[in-house]
Amino acid sequence: MKARAKLALALIALAAPLACSAQATRARELAAQHVESHSRAYQVPVELVEAIIEVESNWSPRAVSPKGAVGLMQLMPATAVRFGVRNRFDIEDNIRGGVAYLAWLIRLFEGDLRLAVAAYFVGESQILLRGLAHSSPEVFRYVSGVAQRYRTKRLETLARQRLSFRPRREMR
């Protein structure tokens, strides 16, 4: 009987990481769907939102920063309130609020993605005051990291679109 109990415990221990991994995969797929729909609704490049999520939380919906930012898009409490987010830990609510904020920043900075991303990181007031002169090493690393991921993701999207495009053959 003891051998069976030990075997059962060993199997549970082995299965637990797989269950957590499957749950994380489902959460990531759900998040990707919300990124797609909210990016389209707010006219923000999907690849930019994905890049910000990777840098901000590495796709962890339970991420909490030392400064109090929460969720996939690391929303601060005041930003969440401004953009109608009720639960910063809720995947869809967090993504919707983060994408809405990002869209607002892109409009505020007249399409300059560098300034919009910098403002997403430090707040728009800092960037409005100093523009790119607000060049702390931390802001530079953040914007560079997002830009690198964005470019890579954008190129992957374009390559997929190109591969899926098949011109029609003329009928004779």
Q: What is the pLDDT of residue 134?
A: 65
Q: pLDDT tens digit string along 4-55?
A: 666 555 545 544 444 457 777 888 899 999 999 999 999 999 999 999 999 9
Question: Looking at beta carbons, which pairs linking 57-61 to residues 24 or more positions away fall under 8 Å?
Answer: 59/28, 59/31, 61/27, 61/31, 61/89, 61/91, 61/94
In total, the chain counts a number of residues equal to: 172
- What is the model's pLDDT at position 18? 44
- In angstroms, the CA 75 to CA 101 distance is 9
For residues 126-143, average pLDDT: 85
- CB 53, CB 31: distance < 8 Å: yes
Closest CA to 56 of 110, 101, 111, 22: 101
Arithmetic mean of pLDDT over the chain: 88
The label of the residue with tokens 């920063």 reads 65
At 93 the pLDDT is 98
Catalytic residue set: 56
Pairwise CA distance, residues 151 & 148, whole Å: 5
Which domains, and CATH codes, for the chain?
Answer: 27-162 (1.10.530.10)
Write out pLDDT tens, residues 140-149. Answer: 999 999 999 9
Specify the pLDDT at position 23.
Answer: 76
Mean of the pLDDT values across residues 69-96? 97
